[in-house]
């Protein structure tokens, strides 16, 4: 089975948790799944920006990236990539870490200013996201070569446009890589155990839903902040042929290796 796994920066904060997730990745690889890992780092980037006095700005869960934020992003994402790759190798995973532009994996373009609604029911505003990229194309050759050689790719969410490094939403990169690889499942590992009908009530977790229901909840404004781009990219991946998109918690023991458990997170299907 081809599994594209996105690890949130929130689950990579703790060394013990990173080691646990790395061991679960080893178990999945030993079960002969073909794996790609993509990691975020939003929380760590926010923390570094605040330490440096850099303004943190987001619109609908998407970060505005000025030059100072981009410099911080490169530091944070590179450090996380090295640390995660090292942790995986220590657990027996033949991991190889790199960014989204290495080996021609992706081409991207800098996002032009766009009109966006400032929250549900809010007014339209023209937003300049700065050094943020949109993926134009994906060439999975590098990943396929690594798979054939027995390696597991570990990818940070930095892409490039004509040599200019850009910050790309990790959920967007995950969805587009999954589509290019015709993945069997996308697994988004975060600090929440699924999708809630009431974002403030964990007891309202929805075990399973289809794309139409997810789209309706999105339009109704049920999803907040970082969940918005996650759901948007999930729907995009499903529309392009990915059979299953799953959100589960990396804080729960063995949740990743037990992704087939009906109680594990929320599963969205076409």
Model pLDDT for residues 257-267, shown as the tens digit of each residue: 999 998 899 99
- Alpha-carbon distance of 56 to 69, in angstroms, equals 8
Angle at 176 between CA 170 and CA 182, to 5 degrees: 130
User: Is residue 131 within 8 Å of residue 65, measured between CB atoms?
Assistant: yes
pLDDT at position 57: 92
Torsion, CA 184, CA 256, CA 103, CA 87, rounded to 10: -160
H or E segment at 61?
Answer: none
pLDDT of residue 201: 83
215 vs 38: CA distance, rounded Å: 24
- pLDDT tens per residue, range 138-159: 999 999 999 999 999 999 999 9
CATH of domain 2-269: 3.40.1160.10
0.95 exceeded by pTM: no
Q: Roughly what angle, to the nearest 10 degrees, separates helices 67-90 and 15-30?
A: 60
Mean pLDDT across 214-236: 84
| Residue 218 pLDDT class (50, 70, 90 cuts) | confident
- CA distance linking residue 165 with residue 238, whole number of Å: 28
Spatial distance between the Cα atoms of 154 and 173, rounded to a whole number of angstroms: 12
DSSP 28: H
Residue 80 has phi, psi (to 5 degrees) of: -65, -40
| pLDDT (0 to 100) of residue 118 | 65
Cβ partners under 8 Å of residue 63, min gap 6:
42, 45, 56, 57, 69, 129, 132, 167, 169
Q: Please report how many Cα atoms fall inside a 13 Å half-sphere around the Cα of residue 173, on the Cβ side.
A: 30
How many Å apart are CA 152 and CA 220, to the nearest integer? 38
Rounded distance between C-alpha atoms, residue 5 and residue 42, angstroms: 17
CA–CA dist 242, 176 (Å, integer):
10
The better pLDDT of the pair 198, 232 is held by 232
Phi, psi of 161, rounded to the nearest 5 degrees? -125, 105
Look over the chain and give the mean of its residue pLDDT values, rounded to a whole number: 93
Nearest one of 214, 221, 42 to 119, comparing CA atoms = 221
């Amino acid at each position: 089975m081809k599994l594209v796994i996105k690890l949130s920066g929130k689950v990579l904060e703790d060394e013990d948790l990173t080691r646990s997730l790395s061991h679960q990745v080893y178990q999945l690889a030993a079960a002969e799944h073909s794996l790609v890992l993509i990691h975020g780092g939003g929380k760590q980037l926010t923390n570094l920006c605040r330490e440096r006095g850099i303004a943190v700005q987001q619109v609908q869960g998407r970060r505005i990236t000025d030059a100072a934020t981009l410099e911080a992003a490169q530091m944070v994402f590179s450090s996380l990539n090295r640390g995660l790759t090292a942790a995986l190798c220590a657990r027996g995973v033949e991991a190889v870490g790199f960014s989204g532009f290495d080996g021609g994996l992706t081409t991207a373009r800098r996002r032009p200013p766009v009109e966006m609604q400032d929250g549900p029911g809010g007014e339209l505003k023209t937003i300049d996201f700065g050094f943020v990229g949109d993926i134009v194309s994906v060439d999975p050759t590098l990943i396929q070569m690594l798979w054939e050689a027995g390696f597991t790719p570990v990818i940070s969410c930095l892409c490039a446009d004509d040599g200019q490094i850009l910050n790309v939403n990790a959920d967007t990169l995950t969805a587009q890589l999954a589509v290019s690889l015709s993945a069997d499942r996308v697994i988004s590992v975060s600090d929440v155990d699924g999708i809630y009908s009431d974002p403030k009530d964990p007891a309202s977790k929805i075990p399973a839903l289809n794309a139409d229901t997810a789209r309706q909840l999105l339009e109704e404004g049920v999803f907040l902040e970082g969940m918005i781009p996650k759901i948007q990219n999930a729907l995009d991946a499903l529309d392009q042929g990915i059979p299953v998109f799953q959100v589960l918690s990396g804080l729960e023991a063995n949740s990743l290796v037990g992704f087939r458990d009906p109680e594990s997170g929320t599963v969205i299907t076409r």
